[in-house]
Amino acid sequence: MRYGLFIALPLMACLLSPPLPLSGQELRIGAVFEEPEAKRFVAALAEKNQTQEQWAERSKVIRQHIKSTLGLDHPPTPCDLSPLVTATHRFDGYSVDNVAIQTLPGFWLTGNLYRPNEPGKSIAGILSPHGHWKDGRTREDQQKLSAALARAGAVVFSYDMVGFEESRPVDHKHPQVLKLQTYNSIRALDYLCSMPNIDQTRLGCTGASGGATQTFLLAAVDDRLDVSVPVCQVSAHYYGGCVCESGLPIHVGPHHETNNVEIAASFAPKPQLIVSNGQDWTKNCTDVEFPFIKRIYELNKAGDQVEHAHFASEGHDYGPSKRTAAVLFLCKHLSLQPQLSQNGDLDLSFVTIQPREDLMVFPNDADRPANAAKSADEVFHSLTLASEPDDSAD
C-alpha cells in the first residue's frame, strides 16, 4: 500500500518543505512505496523486460517521456553561453576559476571550473552537480571531489543548483524548477564541450543526493554523456522529496509508470557506478535496485560496464569512501590518473580548501551582468516559449 509522499532527514533543507499534492497520482514524491511493495514493483518491471529488444523499447519510452515532460523534445534555441571568468586560483596540480555561463537569455549559471595545471592534448570533461546541503558547491567535500578529478587530468564544472548560492532569481521550491535545473545541466555540458581540447567521447557526471538525481536524469536525456556516477539516491521506494527531483510527472506517462531505478538503468550500456549506503533510502540497493540494473546491462551485453559500491555502515553523504569509489571509477572509464596513497586510498593532501567567499563569482550583486533576469517569471517565460514546437518547420 502506498503511504505518505514525504520524509525528512537532517541537513536536507528542501525535504523539510510540506509535500506537494498529487495530481491524478501523476507525481511520485518522497517515500511513495513501502519497501516490500517497491521490491514487488521492481520484480514486475523485470518481468516486462526479458529481452534486449523489450528493454530498448521500454527505455525509449521512459527517456522520451522525461524529455517531453521537461520541454526538452523542443528545447530552446541555445543562446550564446558568454562565459565570464571573474577570478582564478592556482594550487598544487590544479586551478579553480570562478565562472558564470548564460544558459538562457539573462539567466546566469554560476560555478567553479577545476582544471589540471598540465592538461593533455585530449581532456576529459566532468559535471558535478551538488546535493541539498548547505553551501552547495563550496562545501569541503565538493571541493575535494572536484580537485581530485582535476589533478587526475579532467576539467570539472561544479555548478549551483537553482536557488542555491548565487543562482538567482529563481527559488529552489519553484514548481517548475526541475525543468530549469535539467536544462542548466545540458547547457553546462555544452560549456564543457565548447572548450579547446575537450574529448567529447570522455564526458562524465557525478553528484550525491539531489545531485545524483540530476546525474541520472541528465544521463537519460543527453546522449553525449559517457559515464554516470549517481551517489546515494537510486531507490525503488523513495523518489526524491524535492520539487527539483519529483515536482513534475516524469515517472508516469499515458501508458507507463516507472521509477528512478529504471531511469538509471536507461543509461545502459554505458559505464555507470551506483553508490549506496545502509542508513538512507538506498539501504536495499544490494538486494533490490542494483540486481535489476545489472540485469538490464547484461541484456545489453554490457554487464562489465556497471558496478555497485555499497557502504553498509555509512549514511547519506559524499564522504571519503564514496568519493574514492567514484573517482576511481571515473578515472578508469575516462582514462585519468588519480593520485593515490600507498594503501590505495585517494590522496587529497594536495587539496587547498577555499573559503566560501573566495569561490563566489559575483561577490557583489552589482557585479552581475546588466542583462541578468530580475524575476522567475522572466526566466520561465523565456524557457516555456522556447520549448514550444515550431509548426512552421513541418
> Residue 309: inside a domain, yes or no?
yes
Q: Is the pLDDT of residue 25 over 60?
A: no
> Residue 165: inside a domain, yes or no?
yes
> Residue 371: inside a domain, yes or no?
no
pTM of the model: 0.92
Which residue carries 559535471 as its cell?
127
> Residue 72: inside a domain, yes or no?
no
Q: How far apart are CA 73 and CA 67, in angstroms?
A: 5
What average pLDDT does the structure give for the chain?
Answer: 91
CATH of the domain at 166: 3.40.50.1820
In sequence order, what are the residues at sequence separation of 6 or more whose Cβ sits closer than 8 angstroms to the Cβ of residue 283?
Answer: 276, 277
pLDDT at 74: 87
pLDDT tens digit string along 232-262?
999 999 999 999 999 999 999 988 999 999 9
Q: Which three cell numbers stand for residue 37?
A: 511493495
Q: Which three cell numbers stand for residue 329?
A: 571509477
- In terms of residue numbers, what domain contains 314? 84-359
Q: Is the pLDDT of residue 32 over 80?
A: yes
> Residue 162: inside a domain, yes or no?
yes
> Residue 12: inside a domain, yes or no?
no
* Nearest alpha carbon to residue 9 among 174, 176, 238, 217: 238
pLDDT at 148: 97
Which range among 1-5, 12-16, 41-45 shows the weakest confidence by mean pLDDT? 12-16
Number of compact structural domains in the chain: 1
> Residue 92: inside a domain, yes or no?
yes
Q: Where does the pLDDT of residue 357 fall: very low under 50, low under 70, confident under 90, or very high at 90 and above?
A: very high
Q: Where does the pLDDT of residue 119 fall: very low under 50, low under 70, confident under 90, or very high at 90 and above?
A: confident
